Structure formats: C-alpha cells, structure tokens
Amino acid sequence: MVLEPRILPSLAAIDADDWSRLETHGNPFLSHAFLAGLESTESIGPHAGWSPHHLSLYENGRLAAFAPTYAKSNSHGEFVFDWAWADAYQRNGFAYYPKLLTGVPYSPVTGPRLLIAREHPDPDTLRRALIDLALNECRKGGFSTWHCNFVRPDDLSALTGAGLLQRHDWQFHWRNRGYGDFDAFLSDLRSRKRKNIRRERAQLRESGVTTYWRAGAELDASDLDFVYACYIATFQQYGNYPALRPAFFALLARELDAGFQVAFAERDGERLAMAVFLAGGGRLYGRYWGCVEEIPGLHFEVAYYQGIEFCLRNRIEVFESGAQGEHKIGRGFLPEPTRSCHFVAHEGFRAAIAAHLEREHEWMADYRERAVQMSPFRRDLE
C-alpha cells in the first residue's frame, strides 16, 4: 500500500462524491455539507481560532482516509475542557497554543474521527497512518498537543494503542426501549417522575401552547430568521459567542433536508420558541434552543419531550440532547460515556497530565454512580 499524506487547508479540496466514499456511520456532523459549510459560511476560520488543517491520505490518487482537524489558537467550541492545561503551560513559561485538534467544531457529539474509505481491506493501517501524520505535524509544526475529541471505540483503540492519553466524561442520552408512544415511555418511570412530566406538559397545553415540526426543505426564510434570532438570544443570555452564521443554518436546511429538523412552539399564532435537531445514523441530536418568552416548562417541552416524541414516531433508537445537564436525568436521560485522546509533546507535562487523568477517571466514576442513583426509572427495570 502506497499512501500519499496531504494536509488540506479547506474541505473545498474534497468534492462531495469523493467524501461519500468515507464511512461516517450516517453521522450528520460528519457530512460534507456540515463540515464544508462551517468553512464556506465563515462560521469557523482563523478569526474564531479554528484554522482548517485537515489530515488526509490518498491511495492511487483517491481519498482513502481523512481526519477533520484544525489548528487552534484558543480552546473555545470544543466541549472537552483543557483550560487548566493551558494555564499550567502559561504559568511555566510555555506556549500551549497553537495546538492541533481533531473533531467537529462546536459539536460535542461522538462519531468517527479517523474516517476510512468503506470496504478498504486494511483500515487499521490507515488509522495508524493518520495518527502518525498527526504526530508528525505536531513535531514539524510546533503544536504543543494533539487532541482527538468525542471518539468512537474503534478509533479509541487505535489512539490509545499509539500511546495517547485517554480522558472521559459523561453525557445524558435517552434510549428508545421499543416504546409504542410517549405514555409507554412514561409507564417505565417511577410514579412521582411520571406525574411531574405529565403536569409540565398539561400546564403548557392549558396555557394555549402548541408545537409543530418542519424539516429542512419545508423551512422558509421567515422560519430560518426565527431560528437564528432564538439561537443568538440564547448565546447572548449566557454570555457565549454565537459563532454560527445565518448562512450556515440555511445551508444545512437545504443540504440535509430531513436530517435537519426544527420543533417550533407557538401560542395564538405567535411563535414562542424553537429547537434545532439533526438526525442520522439511527440517532437524533439536540443542538440549539431558544425562545422569545420564558414560560415554565417550555424548554423541557420543545428541547426534550418533542425530541422523544420524534424518536418514537420515527423509531429512532437514541436521542443525544447535547452536553451537560443533570436536569435531564429526571426526564429519562441517563449517563453515557464520552471519550477523548490526547498527545502531549512535552514529557514533563505529559507525565503530570497523565497523573491528573488517573485521578479524574476516579472522579468521573463517582459522578456516574451519583447520577445513576437519580434515575427516574422504576427500580424493577434498572
């Protein structure tokens, strides 16, 4: 096997047909539309600390493997927090940035990171070659570290086998246990939790709030304007930087179509709130939420219960509602592990970070035990 490594400064160098040869397991965040759209709409770029530095391998002139990778000048939009690492470097007179990161910008979603052409006879060799390319870029380009975030188990094995440090955390996911409808799901919950959810939903209905869904191709300009206004409002409310541009939402709606879903809430014909979801690979992903009026229970209805209803209608197995949020546990979302891998070039820092991660693994295990104790499901089902 003769491989030609290339560092690509833009996904525009790969056409959609060539990209379609890669195994992405239907993950919408690894679609050509999503990753290339981030670049073409300038939702990412040097101005945001995300400079495309994509790792690719070509075999006989055709794309054989790829890792979506960026040179980072900050740690924003990653959801695997390394602020303490950066601070330690600075306090000791070392430069932490630029660093190299493989992942999907602004998307805490597990998926393939070392993408391999479907039915390639030697995927393990291609994964190892991508890893070697990343490590060589660190040495050659002066990157302090290489981070591979939200990795799948097959990539995890290759990365840890190459000596990268492993880190893990928890998200809260809802799983469809073959429920026929929402009431069937509620019947699996303990009585108090079941009553709480029914009361939340009933209060909204009694206040005149209704909901409806639209897929990408069904969204018109006014729909997308409302989506973006709510997105901006939510980020401003929490003092965060709203990186995504209006053109990015329009592009996803057009290119992903049924893979881009929006749940709207309204009252008396006036829109109140929205939640954006992406779908693919047997999963629904909750991404962005926003409202123009705060109403008790509105967030839970639009961002969570509507997502569960969508999964039930479409027989989707898993609903990933995004990062963090212990408040989701009481609504049927239980802890699932997320994993990342890290190469640290400096030997001293690598040893210190490795020791820290060992302690952090113990903290994460304790956290999961406490989270599981908060499970809303009936004890006979756990």
Contact 115, 64 (CB under 8 A): no
Question: Comparing C-alpha atoms, which of 69, 104, 82, 148 is closest to residue 342?
Answer: 148
User: What's the confidence (pLDDT) of residue 237?
Assistant: 81
Distance CA 316, CA 93 (A): 50
- 305 neighbors 201 (Cβ within 8 angstroms): yes
The model's confidence at residue 16, banded by pLDDT at 50, 70 and 90, is confident
Residue 30 structure tokens: 């690894």
Look at phi and psi of residue 107 and say left if phi exceeds 0, alpha if psi is from -120 to 50, else beta: beta
φ/ψ (deg, to 5) at 35? -70, -45
Is residue 326 predicted with pLDDT exceeding 70?
A: yes
Q: Does residue 8 sit in helix, strand or coil?
A: strand
d(CA 175, CA 29) in angstroms, rounded, equals: 20
- Three-state DSSP class for residue 356: helix
Count of CA atoms in the C-beta half-sphere (13 A) of 257? 2
Q: Is 324 left (phi over 0), alpha (psi -120 to 50) or beta?
A: left
pLDDT of residue 382: 62
In which element (H, E) is residue 36 found?
helix 32-40
Residue 224 and residue 249 in contact, taking contact as beta carbons nearer than 8 Å: yes
236: three-class secondary structure by DSSP: helix
Structural domains in the chain plus CATH codes: 3-170+336-373 (3.40.630.30), 177-316 (3.40.630.30)
Tell me the per-residue pLDDT of 188-202, one tens digit each, with 9 for 90 and over: 999 999 999 999 999
Token pair, residue 70, equals 């960026």
Does the pLDDT at position 77 exceed 90?
Answer: yes
User: Over the stretch 22-65, which tens digit does the pLDDT of each residue have?
Assistant: 999 999 999 999 999 999 999 999 999 999 999 999 999 999 99
Q: Is the pLDDT of residue 381 over 80?
A: no
Residue 179 · residue 368 · CB < 8 Å: no
Q: What percent of the chain has a predicted confidence (pLDDT) above 70? A: 100
- For 264-287, the pLDDT digits (tens) are 999 999 999 999 999 999 999 999
Checking if the pLDDT of 325 tops 90, the result is no
pLDDT (tens digit per residue) in 205-233? 999 999 999 999 999 999 999 999 999 99
Contact 278, 261 (CB under 8 A): yes
Write out pLDDT tens, residues 233-258: 998 887 788 899 999 999 999 999 99
pTM, whole model, 2 decimals? 0.95
Average pLDDT of the residues in 360-379:
93
